[in-house]
Amino acid sequence: MVNVIISGAPGSGKGTQSELLVSRFQLIHFSTGDLLRHEIAAQTPLGIEADSFISKGNLVPDSMIIDIITSAINRTCPKNCAGILFDGFPRTREQAVALEVMMNGRGTPVSLCIDLQVPERELIERLLTRGQTSGRSDDNLETIRKRLEVFEQKTKPVNEYYQELGKYVAIDGTGTIEEIFSRIEAVLKGK
C-alpha cells in the first residue's frame, strides 16, 4: 500500500497529475478542494461557510478540513485498498500532524509527499487561463495572489515537516503533463 500526498502551489498541477496517478496506480483520490466545491455547489451549511474563505483565497479552518477528510477516509477506504492519494491536503503543519496520527493509527502510514515545483509566473498564467472557463470563484488575479501568499506562509512549512520525517520529494512541475507524470512515476516505482 502506498499513501501519497501531492503537494504544490495553486496551479502546480496537483489535480492534473492526480488523475493520471489514479488510473496508473489504482489509488483512492481525495482532493479537499473538490470535496469543498461539491459542498458549495450543493449549498450545504458547510459549503456556504467554506465559500466565504475560498473566494477570498484563504484556507478553511483546520478543524473543518480534518473532519471532512477523516470521515471521507473512514467511509470509502478499506484498509487493504491499493493506497490513498491526498491532493491539496495537508496544507498546514497542524493538518499534517493530524494526518500522521490518523494514518499511523490505521496501520497505513503516509509513504511520501511529492511537491510539484513551478515558478510563480507560470502558476499565475495557468490559473488565469483556467479562470476563463472554470467558473471557480478563486481563479481571478486578486484571489490568485492571495492564494500564493497563503501558500508561502502556511503550506510551505508542511514540506519541512515531511523533510524531517524523510518522506519529502521535490519534482520539477514544468514541461508537458506527460513529462511531469514520468518524473512522478519514476519516484513511485521505487516505492
Binding site for ligand AP5 (CB under 6 A): 8, 10-16, 32-33, 36, 53-54, 58-60, 65, 88-89, 91, 95, 126, 130, 138, 147, 176-177, 180
Least distance between ligand AP5 and beta carbon 30 (Å): 10
Least distance between ligand AP5 and beta carbon 80 (Å): 26
Residue 126 to residue 120: CA distance in whole angstroms: 10
- Which one of Mg ion, ligand AP5, none is in contact with 147 (Cβ closer than 5 to 8 A by kind)? ligand AP5
Q: What angle do CA 149, 183, 161 make, to 5 degrees?
A: 45
Distances (CA, A) of 23 to 16, 33, 82, 115, 130: 12, 20, 12, 20, 23
- Which one of Mg ion, ligand AP5, none is in contact with 177 (Cβ closer than 5 to 8 A by kind)? ligand AP5
Least distance between Mg ion and beta carbon 100 (Å): 23
Per-residue burial over 86-104, b if 16 or more Cβ lie within 10 Å, else e, is bbbbbbbebbbebbbebbe
Q: Cβ closer to ligand AP5: 3 or 12?
A: 12
